[in-house]
Chains A and B, each alone.
Chain A
Amino acid sequence: MKQFIIIGNSAAGIACAEAIRQRDKESKIVVISDEDYPSYCRCLISYYLAGDVKEDKILYRPESFYKENNIELLLNKKVSRVDPKKNHIICEDKTQLSYDSLLIATGSTPKFPQMSGIKKRGVFGFRTIKDTKEIEGLLPVTKTACVLGGGLIGLKAAYALSKRKIEVKVIVKSKQVLSQMLDFEAASMLQKKLQENGIEIILGQDAAEVIGNGDIKAVKLDSGKAIGASLIIVGKGVEPNIDLIKDTEIKFNEGVIANNFLQTNIPNIYTAGDVCESFDMTQGKHTVNALWPVAIEQGKIAGCNIAGDNLNYDGSLAMNSIEFFGLPFISLGIYRTQAGDSSFEELKLMDPKINLYKKLILKDNVLIGAILVGDIKQSGIFLRLIRERIKVSSLKDRLLQENFGYPDIIDLIKEEKEKIYV
């Protein structure tokens, strides 16, 4: 009987386990996690901290899932090394487990900037349910908080803290929030929305030091100004958890490098999710797209291939959706171009009065990216145009219209056969 090991119990790991089990009822599946919690909706921790989601709704699969699918779950177990030659993994507790195929879906870890005081009690990453519960435990004695970083994690943390009536300031090194997802115009709309709702954003300044003896008192900025806070959440990006393969022949760059079958350079070792560096179809090169839907898709395809399929993965692309205080934002693919680069074409529609902004980026008449603020209903169609690399020359005057939709692309797409329109 074969044994498949999946390191990682979040989006990619679960999607992989499910895909294997759908095809193979016999083989043994072992899922290993260094957390002590069954699979949960990682992206919901900020909603949980805010009090918008109760703990019973945070589980991604019911607790019976593992038993029903005959999956062995090993919690609180950290894999320290993969040995591709011997086809086994070695855990921190010295146990060894052998595999026929392995999925590396170890996810990522928050990056902590180097500065004095960053290791103090009261400074948190915001990645796991454990982080969340520790932060929650301090809320009754917290009046002021600082979030370092204006990325998605930082802003979601800031929203949660402000919802819990904590005075929160977000310190952003760059000139805008969400610089990995939005352009300056869209970010300005978001900043305004956040400020209106009591979340203060400090742009263009970086934290230099965490001040306090024992308990945290303040964050000192590089400008010299100090901001009072007794709780700090760090949202300065994440880095893939690749320590377990660093001394092996498995190839990595920022993340573990995957081919178009989600295999590493070792054929029976696959990778998916936040640790996986895959081909990005809009950038035309390998990159890490640490996003929930990407992790699911990769985990699923890796699982099918582990179970014997030969599915091709077209590649990943950046895609994210977020809403703050009733204003939705979606970003797809390439969302910003170099000023003066004439190889790109931008189509724009903007009405800040009603919080509406749409920007589409085209290259050689193919959509390669989009930002949508306020009106997001066509985002699925735009994502499809990007994924299927459809020439939109004939549609340019339609793309930004309010009633643009599926019928406009019906004759252009690669659908095998239209099934519902007769």
Chain B
Amino acid sequence: MSFLPLKERSFTVKIMSEKIYKLLQQGKRIDERTPYEFRKITMQTNVVEKANGSALVSVGSTRILTGIKVELGTPYSDRPNEGVFSVNAELLPLASKSFEPGPPDERGIELARVVDRCIREGKAIDLEKLCIIPGKLVYILYIDIYVLDYDGNYFDPSVISAMAALATCTIPKYSATGERVEGEYMRVPIRDVPLSSTIGIIKDKLLVDPCLVEENSLDTSIVVCMDSASNVVAIQKNSPGHIPLSLMESIINVAEEQISRIRTQFKEVIGIEKEGREHC
């Protein structure tokens, strides 16, 4: 078990919280954005050739690097026809003075599990196509997320980078009898692109993609993940504090709009039906 004692959490600077709320009442934010405006998002794929898939994604100054390694293994006994994937995340001490070296703490584990649910419930991967010999041999995808630089909101760029790495991931091809087909590779079969939007709440005001300074002043925050049909595929209230019930509907609507905008950019940059790249 790991926990962050209350004293270790960075305390709120009162005049900043007051200023942030005062600005919000005028529809403005401390970094000159509007409440429903994301910071600039950049996406680069295939940044680590040794990985089967990789993506470096930044949202403002927050930067996430995800890499995927593919191995062969046995499927779960209750899902003999499906490939397997697991998500891990590390909040690297390089990224922030509040990230300590060591095994993932509760925040890193929460990040990994929420991204996992987003991808799993969002049916992002066609797991049946990752089965080689039913009941015996399947592909195992290790999706490992590393936070390299942290200026607030590691959830959304983590989801984007995991999806971008998956969408551009190439895996060695195996025949139906489990033999390696030399020189042939295939893409990870992607069915959908579930993405997320983190929303911060201060009193009665909402803001999307909180930067670090805002994060320290929020009453609470929530991550909403949706697929391309706007189904909610994961939700995580990831901070202590209260969400007024009356705000929930707006939260979902705001998230939907943000996610669909990010998905448009994602499809432009990554593409889903992309030509096979040169193999590793």
Q: Do A and B come from one complex?
A: no
Chain A positions near chain B (C-beta within 8 angstroms): none
Chain B positions near chain A (C-beta within 8 angstroms): none
